[in-house]
Structure 1
Amino acid sequence: MVKKLRYYARFIVVCLLLRRMKLVRELIVELDRHIAEYTSTYEPDDQIEWSLVLDEIKGFVTADGLVSVMHADTNPIVLSHRLSPLTTPPVEKNQYMTLTLQEILIVGSASEQVKFSELTMDMFRMIQTLEREPQEDYNHVYDASPATGRNPYAVPGSKGYMENGERPNRRDNPHKYLLYKPSLSQVLVFLASGFKELPANGALLLYMSADGCFSTTKHPEDMGYDLGGVLTSGRRDGDHKKQKESHCLYPGDLYPFTRRPLFVIVDSDNSFVFQHIPRYFGQPLVTLMSPQDTPPAFQGNYVNICV
């Protein structure tokens, strides 16, 4: 019975990633019923633990719908955050547009995040934003699988077919690593892995959602380390005021990875410190930093956007 409950929890995560929200809600009802049966028949002591799991997924689904986009006639608009010809403005390509996003590292370390399992809301939305709809199926609705009707077997001579285990030079969708509250060493290992796997003309993207790690240095000299950074996890190795925080990702930690095209997105209350990353190797570098304060108009519980 426990295996069945775990299967439901994993299947709900899969349906979330596929944006099959109607099925997610149906599975929540079934999971609630199975939890009641399990705790009443087998292990009453496990009810609290499984109730927390159920509350997590219910809270996740509720939080996903907090922001609603409305037509002028107050009808809600169903949005798919994935990239498709319907949501991506046309761009006229030129000889300088040679880079493609190939490797992505998404790190969710912020405290007090709405989450289910090890998937936080910000990680979930970044995954959706960085996923391209299959071209033959970009009209699919929310509750249909994005890969419906797709032939998993390529035909020799067709696009995407490879022989003898050859690796493609370009993926339809970038390869993604998801890390929930990792240690600093894990972040660096996965960054190095993505860096190593970059093909020619490939770019690496790092998304960090984390709490700020603030510096106590009164007279900063090294912009890479003296201004602080972001905490990768909640662990701290004691109170060493004269030492750098061991679980903090500093801007200077990213310098080696600027040898290849790098795109950095930092969502933190200390994000501004990443504006000083230099381009030592002359490669393209883009850094997007979140604002440090939330505008008053967006501090309410519910936001309606009319178009």
Structure 2
Amino acid sequence: MGEKNGVVLRTFRALVEGADRKFARVRDVPAYGHVTSQQYFHKVFKAYTKLWKYQQDHRSELVESGLHRWEIGEIASRIGQLYFGQYMRTSEARFLVEAYVFYEAILNRRYFEGSKGFGKDLGVRFKELRFYARFLLVSLILNRTEMVKGLTDLFKALVDESKACFRETNFKEWKQVVQEIVRFMKVDTAFMNVRPLRYCAMFDSHQASLPYVARFHAKKVLKFRDALLTSYHRNEVKFAELTLDTFRMLQCLEWEPSGSFYQKQLVESNGNGVSTDHSGASGLIDINLAADMTDPTLPPNPRKAILYRPSVTHLIAVMATICEELPPDSVMLVYLSASGNAGRSNVSQMEGFQKSSKNKVSSQFSQEQSSSISESSSNDRGESTGYYDSYLWFGSRGNSVSNNLYPGDIIPFTRRPLFLIIDSDNSHAFKAGFAWCREGRDSCSTPFTYEAGIQEFI
């Protein structure tokens, strides 16, 4: 029996190592743009499917060989992380619900409970802390308010206990994470008792009526497939890399499931002869879930690239990637939330920007920019409307022009249908017909006043 258990344990360890290697290859893949390694995602899910089934079939032998419960919890946590990553790449709610199912199972079955107490493994404690942080993020996006409150209390207690148990270790960063979720929930409390931010059939027009509305707005009907959401403010409310502004926009760009989506039941053995019900998802580790996991009454959610405090060059690069891969019959939504500056830039900034511009653009475009500066004037409120005074600020400190996003930076992307939302105190600078947009240039005026009926605009 001992030899058999040894073989089972070695096989299990080999499966864990193989799955972890595959997981490492897809963990940092960007959540935007065409993923060339999409086929590899299937291999990762297949590896964890095999691993999860093996530990279920040989649970008793593995426990006898010294398998710890937290190791099972770590596998389930990785699976939840994979599902959440797929949700961020595809915006399909079924993946988000699957992540919630695995995280909830870890919590209910107390897989990490054995890591508590003095003299325990610090590495295991960090795994448990990361689990709570990830579960909080998933619950937050799913609007499971009561679960978020309960997890916050447990998370705070765990951080306090960790500081007492591991006095040589600095848990300052984890304490900051606790402060972030507490602050986030406090600010967002005003929205908890009102209608959901997601589009809901109970409050909004049914999606079947949208084609009839669209035909009154445009000759060409476009589909809403991709969105880019980002915000950059000093000391902004956030949790992890999800700011309050992008969180609310994310909610607004998704359908609220009608109810049938969450009614699927699962009965799964927990390894101790006790059956546990899970509602909301299959609990099976399979990227190709059954068709009934997707609500057939609702159109698909648009894919959303969420950028946390990006540089201007990174933001433009992501916009270019999404725009390049946008289907011909589609429209892209861009939401930018950042501070603006209505004051004029100093001379050194102007000279530095003009010098760099000469190396990047043609002389004709440089002359047009210089002409637009000379045409700058004040608006009704007495604010300057020059080209170099009209921008969004994507920087943590200093006044470097490399942190400025100008209206002209967005013009190349207006060659494709674009729905632009500027959430800023300087949003008027991006209005069509402003001083930076010279009269007679169709490429400036037309795209920003473009109206399109969006067939699946949710």
Letter of the 1:226 counterpart: Y
Q: Partner residue of 1:25? A: 149
Call closer, same or farther: CA 1:260–1:189 in 2, change over 3 Å: same
Post-superposition offset of 1:159: 10
* SS of alignment partner, residue 188 of structure 1: helix
Call closer, same or farther: CA 1:6–1:217 in 2, change over 3 Å: closer
**How many residue pairs get matched?**
255
Mapped to 2, the partners of 1:116 and 1:94 lie a distance apart of 37
Q: Which has the higher helix share?
A: 2
Q: Partner residue of 1:89? A: 205
* SS of alignment partner, residue 226 of structure 1: helix
Q: Are positions 1:272 and 2:428 aligned together?
A: yes
Q: Partner residue of 1:128? A: 251
* SS of alignment partner, residue 101 of structure 1: strand
Q: Are positions 1:148 and 2:284 aligned together?
A: no
Give the structure, 1 or 2, with the largest relative contact order (CA under 8 Å, sep 6 or more).
1
8 Å contact from structure 1 (residues 109, 233) kept in 2: yes
**Superposition pairs of residues 159-178 of structure 1, within 5 angstroms:** 172-178=300-306
Greater Rg, structure 1 or structure 2? 2
8 Å contact from structure 1 (residues 103, 204) kept in 2: yes
Call closer, same or farther: CA 1:203–1:34 in 2, change over 3 Å: same
Call closer, same or farther: CA 1:202–1:285 in 2, change over 3 Å: farther
Q: Flag structure 1 segments of 5+ consecutive residues without an equivalent.
A: 69-76, 141-146, 161-170, 239-244, 288-307
8 Å contact from structure 1 (residues 210, 231) kept in 2: yes
Post-superposition offset of 1:148: 2.6
* Worse-superposed segment, 58-67 or 178-187: 58-67
Deviations 1:87-111 (A, max 9, x none): 3235433543611221111111022
Call closer, same or farther: CA 1:136–1:260 in 2, change over 3 Å: farther
Mapped to 2, the partners of 1:67 and 1:159 lie a distance apart of 26
Q: Flag structure 2 segments of 5+ consecutive residues without an equivalent.
A: 1-124, 264-278, 283-287, 347-372, 377-384, 451-458
* SS of alignment partner, residue 313 of structure 2: helix
Q: Partner residue of 1:163? A: none
**Superposition pairs of residues 97-116 of structure 1, within 5 angstroms:** 98-116=221-239
Mapped to 1, the partners of 2:198 and 2:316 lie a distance apart of 28
Q: Partner residue of 1:117? A: 240
Mapped to 1, the partners of 2:167 and 2:306 lie a distance apart of 33
* SS of alignment partner, residue 173 of structure 1: coil
Call closer, same or farther: CA 1:36–1:136 in 2, change over 3 Å: closer
Mapped to 1, the partners of 2:200 and 2:262 lie a distance apart of 9
* Worse-superposed segment, 269-278 or 174-183: 269-278
Q: Are positions 1:187 and 2:315 aligned together?
A: yes
Q: Partner residue of 2:394? A: 232
Mapped to 1, the partners of 2:158 and 2:410 lie a distance apart of 47
Mapped to 2, the partners of 1:220 and 1:226 lie a distance apart of 11
* Worse-superposed segment, 79-88 or 115-124: 79-88
Post-superposition offset of 1:130: 0.7
Q: Which of 239, 256, 260 is matched with 2:416 structurally?
A: 260
Q: Partner residue of 1:295? A: none
Q: Are positions 1:221 and 2:341 aligned together?
A: no
Q: Are positions 1:210 and 2:347 aligned together?
A: no
Q: Identity percentage over the alignment?
A: 33
